[in-house]
Structure 1
Amino acid sequence: MKRLLSYLPLYFVVFLILGISFQFFSGIWKFGFLKLFFLIILISFFLLVKRKVLGTLFVFLLFFLIGVSSVYVNEDCYYDNYYQYYITEDTTLFLQIDEVLKPGNFYKKYKAKVIQVDGEVTKGKILLNVLHDSVSKVLKVDDRILLKPQLKKLIPPLNPHQFDYQSYLAKQGIHEQIFTTNNEFLKIDNTQTTLLGLSAKVRTNITETLQKYNFEKNELAVINALLLGQRQDISKALITDYQNAGAIHILAVSGLHVGIILLILNFIFKPLETLKNGKLIKILVILLLLWAFAFIAGLSASVVRAVTMFSFVAVAMSIKRKGIVEFSFITSLFLLLLVKPMFLFNVGFQLSYLAVFGILWIQPKLYSIWQPKNKIVDFFWKLCTVSVAAQVGILPLSIFYFQQFPALFLISNLVIIPFLGVILVGGILVIITSLFEILPQFVADLYGLTISEMNRFVSWVSHQEAFLFKELAISFWMMICCYVTIFLGIFFLLKKTQKQLLYFLFSIVLVQTLFLYERNKVQHKNEFLVFHKSKHSLLGKRVGKKMYVHNQVGNPLVLDEKILKRYQISEHLKSIEVSDFKNIQTFSNQQILIVDSLGIYKVRGLNNPLVILQHSPKISLERLIQSIKPNQIIVDGSNYKTDIVRWKNIAVQHQVPFHYTGEQGAFVLENTL
């Protein structure tokens, strides 16, 4: 650790990350590429300053600006030929399919590049939604289509603590989407094939070949995930089983798979080291095969970062110097973020590097507790320490994102990981022999049976619900404080000085202080909420750690409603109770009038209330506005779209604020005591 802290690229990475985050969230630099380039050159000249402290500050500032510039260069929206600058009312778009996504219930989904707008060459990406139908055209990577679409903004999360798909796509450079049908676009012949398109064709060919060997649906889906990096065909039930068993990383081609393949290749090609320049030949062959695997697995972001990381590790292993693996880990992180800064916001990227961090710096300490002499016992003990170390590295982040912790992750990993190498190698051999049509059916059946047994074992583990800790939630700042505590705890175990102990104890006090602050905030938080739920009305009144939900005739509301469950977990509520709300409420000195399908609003004593319209009441909104002069009109998802459009126009004409939950998200009236 001491050697690592003296490794300069570690500090470069920190300031690179700060620069990337600052530019992405603030977008502060909007002055063009040339000015940014000259600023970086100017800062570089200041590095000639002989004062050490001043020179160090300029180095850190330089890498901060490099982080800013990497985002600026990679974001299409900063270029003059960004497609949005060319959009008109009757625009014709020329799109090229970049990636095939998992289809939804009603639409097939694709990421597409906007290569032309009305004949002008452009940059930018868009989400393409094609309606399912019986004669649906199947689009593939590199396919080009021509269409006259209506561009729509991505929908933000409509309820508190809902997954933010808009933000997720924004971090991939996608800000708009298109909804279309198969007869609304023209497919254009494309003679050009990109590397991604070639990779997709190879995967399609492999999948079609494997289908001839009568693999079951789940078997083929897992083979595609393990070896081809394609998870689109895996059922939700199977994904949930792997998540609950703490083995979801098995289904995504990641550092685990690439690391195992690297160890196998390193063992196979070890005899090459006896030749002249054998080490160089060996490392070149290994790197070539690793990137060949990445190509077959689709060159997705997760595959590219894993192979990049372990390419550095492979070189480091051949050098065999102390600490070189740790240095290669930091260097790969630096180069990946320099080229692809948006990887920083990818959950898989964060989990991968934090897991490796745990393995590199926590596992040695765990392993030193006991060093068994029996090789078999030693192997499984090492596997235990690696699994625990990786889990410690990702624990706060995984709770922050997924709100659960599978306590049986150790059993899953102890059983599956020792055989994962065999499964991977066996799968590669199955693919190669099937392509040459020399794969015996009994071998395919045996491999399919192995995959099925792994699925059954994972399913059994996932159903041990007593060991699955659900409904956990921590805030972003609590997650950061937990990582500070973990880092200082490791530092104390390595150095064991009084100073490091004080730092560690201080971090524990910091976690406790933040916990008490957040608990006090929850206890004193009051809110009135109008959630968004299509075709239904969902109102809630939150008082401290309790929530009361409006129960209405005809509303099939249940207390395990996902919207409410998510809110309860994230806000640390003790209970949610069903209650009957009166049509007139007073909250935080604000009158609230609920106008339902009966359309009753003429009530005495109303003084500029908030009006909630639900179930499309048959009223004249103009009369309502003139009669009770509302402060604001809130419309939820239980109303007809035609009524909502009409009401919005009337509210705009009368200059009354209008809030539709289907566009602006849930309405929240807050009163913190």
Structure 2
Amino acid sequence: MLGILVSLQLALSLKLSVIITLLLLFTLTITYFINRNQFKQSIWFGLTCYTMILSLGNLSMKVHNHLNYKHHYTYEYKISESKFSQFQLQILEVLKPNSFNQRYVAEIKTINGSPVFGNILLNISKDSSLLNFQVDDKIEINGSLQELYKPLNPHQFDYKRYLENHQIYAQIYSQAKFISVLSTKKHSIYGLADFVRQRINKSLQKYNYSTSELAVINALLLGQRQDIDKELYSDYVNAGAIHILAISGLHIGIILFILKWLFKPFIRIKYGRYLTAIIILFILWSYAVIAGLSPSILRAVTMFSVITIGMYLKRPYNIYNTLAISAFILLIFNPMILFEIGFQLSYLAVIGIVAIHPLLFKQLKTPFWFPNKIITLITVSLAAQLGIFPLSLFYFHQFPGLFLLTNVVVIPFLGFILGYGLLIFGMALIGVPKSLLTDIFGDIISLMNHFFKWIAHQEAFIFKDIPMNWFLVIGLYLIILLFTRYFISKSFSRLVCALVVTCMFQIGLFFNQYWYSSRNELVVFHKSRHSMMSKKSGLNLQVFHDLDSLKLNLDYNIPNYRVGSFIKQIDYQAIQNVYRFNQKQFLIIDSLGIYQNISFHPEYIILSQSPKINLNRLIDSLNPKVIIADGSNFKSYVKRWTETCRKRKRLFHYTGEKGAFILKED
């Protein structure tokens, strides 16, 4: 992991990375043979080994980075020019559609007949498309590659960076009339997996499950969440149950338990243990492929594969080593998975369960069987939540207060639901007609959805907009780690370390508050068709806008800014025409275009609502240093203003291209 992180900072070529790794491997081999028979060990073998593994992480990043290969499409096509061309694409993944487009991840095969490779984001207008492509479909499309959209407002989710972490560096917007289908044959393992999922879904349709029931069945058993609507997904998130919809160790562990029971008779035959292990591994990995090979699935299947091998070959296994082996294998084959939220939370949850659950259970266990089962559910949930708590706050800025109730009620029945669901899948595939058995499964899923909806609507127990940064995340994990070590083996020195780090964390909180309270700034946000700006004074924020109450409640710009800047109080006001910040004057010229009666010369002009003005005359009259156009203006006006400012050598800032305008206090 450290080698992968280091590679992001080092501009080493692929060739040089290979040479360094081979030299370190050669050195490691020599030090091994020198040190293996020595009674007194030196540090050189261990040091060389660590350095070689560090270099291996760097090499893995270089090998898997598409931009290191000359036949990547970015070397053949200048994305900034957006030249109209002919592309041959192969669909790799079907994404969740948005309000306007069907969305896919596709690989470019040719550009104007020239062979290339590389992944792009394909957007096909819903208004013009009756096509629903599947994995492995090959299409020909006429259009142009466009740059990915960067975040335009502060503390906004960086979707461009997210896509680049998935080796996607451009996108195409198109319509059905510009697309022709070349082939629909399935030839890759992902295409065959998609075919199996589509067949299962088609077979389930005769059972008349509702849209929400079918969406949850797909997520619960196939790991596909594209069809879950926003409201239902939000219910699962707010109830602290989103992990149920992500196939993880719980799901794979239950499947392994079922398989172990089914293949128990095989152990009695000759070489039965080896045969059983091979069959179980084949089934687990086949299921992982069908379920889409998400980070949590990969982690779980890799980990349980190691456990299966140890179990059937009668070899001891350590859960920490098993986790390390699975992470190492995954990062060798896909180092970018390290930056997946699912990968990080999945491993942290398991580490939390393994490290903290035994300590909690030891303190709470009773002599009775049934209470101990309830206590186990509670302690496992608490341990997993402690493992992911700091990082989930950093990514999602909220905490579900009723997660214990959710897990205690649902987890005991999840194994039954999964087993029942697999049975329903089998019945659907062999053509068993609709019956009471299939209806009951739909009712169970519907009941689960309604339960989580009820939990999610207990808003008093959902703590939202919790500010968090990397400093606080690291501090919280250090506190959890050191107190866990203390309770594993109590000693005075460990207690002192834990308490010292806690005190340092509290000091850091005061410094963190001082840092944000001493930073004042003015922000002109980008908001399509509207104007919005803010003045930050310490931990207080004044927001000026022209939105109605409904649109203001649906807007994420201010909540994102509030959390990212640790704002405590917000005051909303209507847009004014004149502002003063940092000894500088701001003048807003709206659709009325009135500025002739201004008695001062503002350094900054903000154009909003497409004012019909002569910009040359305005520059001559007011002589501003910077002209800002927000998202409420027509693009044709912005284009004309850009050209005028270029000729008049005035700084021009359009929020739709350069992002929000931010002026910090000197």
What TM-score does the superposition give when structure 2 sets the normalisation length? Answer: 0.93
CA distance in 2, matches of 1:638, 1:23: 42
What is the distance in 2 between the residues matched to 1:621 and 1:668? 23
Is 1:648 aligned to residue 631 of structure 2?
no
Instruction: Output the amino acid matched with 1:530.
Output: V
Change in CA separation of 1:366 and 1:644 when aligned onto 2, cut-off 3 Å: same
Residue 149 of structure 1: CA displacement? 1.6
Structure 1 spans left out of the alignment, 5+ residues: 1-16
Matching residue of 2:57 = 67
Look up the SS of the partner of 2:177 in the other structure.
Answer: helix
Instruction: Give the Cα–Cα distance (whole angstroms) in 1 for the partners of residues 211 and 576 of structure 2.
Output: 52
Q: Deviations over 1:206-243 (max 9, x none)?
A: 10110011111111111111112211111211111111
* 1:409-455, Cα deviation, whole Å (9 max, x unpaired): 11111111111111111111111111111245211101101111111
For residue 575 of structure 1, report the CA deviation from its aligned partner: 1.8
Instruction: Tell me how far apart the structure 2 counterparts of residues 470 and 221 of structure 1 sit (CA, whole Å).
Output: 26
Deviation, structure 1 residue 338: 1.2
Aligned twin of 2:67: 77
Cα shift at 1:363: 0.9
Contact 1:491–1:500 under 8 Å retained in 2:
yes
Distance 2:128 2:84 in 1: 29
Question: Could you tell me whether the CA contact under 8 Å between 1:537 and 1:555 is conserved in 2?
Answer: no
Q: Which residue of 2 aligns with 1:40?
A: 21
Residue number in structure 2 paired with 1:9: none
CA distance in 1, matches of 2:648, 2:52: 53
Match of 1:542 in 2: 536
For residues 238 and 581 of structure 1, the distance between their equivalents in structure 2, rounded to whole angstroms, comes to 36
1:481 is matched with which residue? 475
RMSD: 2.2
- CA-to-aligned-CA distance 1:570-601 (integer Å, 9 cap, x gap): 32222211335653323113332222222233
Q: Partner letter of residue 48 of structure 2?
A: F
Contact 1:312–1:329 (8 Å) recurs in 2: no
**What does residue 243 of structure 1 align with?**
237
Aligned residue type for 1:23: S
d(CA) in 2 for partners of 1:581, 1:544: 21
Partner of 2:11: 28
Question: Does structure 1 residue 18 correspond to structure 2 residue 2?
Answer: yes
Contact 1:316/1:325 (8 A) holds in 2: no
How big is each residue's C-alpha offset from its partner over 1:171-190, in whole Å with a ceiling of 9 and x where there is no partner? Answer: 10111111000001221125
Mean Cα deviation higher: 407-416 or 582-591? 582-591
Of the structure 1 ranges 633-642 and 274-283, higher mean CA displacement relative to structure 2 is found in 274-283
Match of 2:110 among 116, 136, 149: 116
* Identical residues among aligned pairs (%): 40
- Is residue 351 from structure 1 mapped to residue 340 from structure 2 by the alignment? no
Q: Distance in 1 between matches of 2:474 and 2:314?
A: 34
Shift of 1:390: 0.6
| CA apart distance, 1:259 | 2.0
Partner of 2:393: 399
Secondary structure at the counterpart of residue 368 of structure 1: helix
> Which deviates more from structure 2 when the two are superposed, residues 62-71 or residues 597-606?
597-606
What code does the residue aligned with 2:519 have?
K
In the TM superposition, residue 558 of structure 1 has moved relative to its aligned partner by 3.7
The alignment status of 1:166 with 2:148, answered yes or no, reads no
- Structure 1 counterpart of 2:613: 619
How far, CA to CA, are the matches of 2:19 and 2:107 in structure 1? 31
Report the alpha carbon displacement of residue 554 of structure 1 after superposing the two structures with TM: 8.0
Q: Deviations over 1:332-389 (max 9, x none)?
A: 1111111110110100111100000011111111111133333332222222211111
Q: Secondary structure at the match of 1:540?
A: strand
2:38 corresponds in structure 1 to none
Change (3 A) 1:157 1:366: same
Q: Which has the higher mean CA deviation after the structures are superposed, 297-306 or 248-257?
A: 297-306
Describe the superposition over 1:532-552 as per-residue Cα deviations: whole angstroms up to 9, x where unpaired. 111000011111121112245
After superposition, the Cα gap between the structure-2 partners of 1:320 and 1:374, relative to the gap in structure 1 and judged at 3 Å, is: farther
Determine the C-alpha separation between the residues in 2 that align with 1:557 and 1:102: 24
Residue 320 of structure 1 deviates from its aligned partner by 6.0
| Partner in structure 2 of residue 4 of structure 1 | none
Task: State which of 73, 76, 80 in structure 2 corresponds to 1:86.
Answer: 76
SS in 1 for 2:520: strand
Distance change in 2, residues 1:512/1:316 (3 Å) = farther
Describe the SS at the equivalent of 1:378: helix
Distance 2:656 2:128 in 1: 30
Q: Partner residue of 1:458?
A: 452
Q: Aligned AA for 2:47?
A: L
Residue in 1 that maps onto 2:192 = 198
> Do structure 1's residue 427 and structure 2's residue 421 form an aligned pair?
yes
Name whichever of 552-561 and 417-426 sits farther off: 552-561
SS in structure 2 of the partner of residue 133 of structure 1: coil
How far 1:59 moved relative to its partner?
A: 2.6
Cα distance change, pair 229–151 in 1 and its aligned pair in 2 (3 A): same
SS across alignment from 1:668: strand
Indicate conservation of the 8 Å contact 2:608/2:630, yes or no.
yes
C-alpha separation between the residues in 2 aligned to 1:536 and 1:656? 24
Letter in 1 for 2:640: R
**1:602 shift after superposition:** 4.2
The Cα of 1:58 is off from its aligned counterpart by: 3.1
Q: Residues of 2 paired with 1:596 and 1:566: CA distance?
A: 26
Q: 1:489 and 1:200 mapped to 2: Cα distance?
A: 46
Moved more, 497-506 or 67-76: 497-506
Displacement of 1:125 after TM fit? Answer: 0.4
Alignment correspondent of 1:95: 89
Provide the C-alpha distance between the structure 1 equivalents of 2:185 and 2:265, rounded to a whole number of angstroms. 44
TM-score (normalizing by structure 1): 0.92
1:123 match: secondary structure: coil
d(CA) in 1 for partners of 2:550, 2:233? 28
The answer (yes or no) to whether the contact 2:310–2:317 under 8 Å persists in 1 is: no
Structure 1 residue 301, shift from structure 2 partner: 4.1
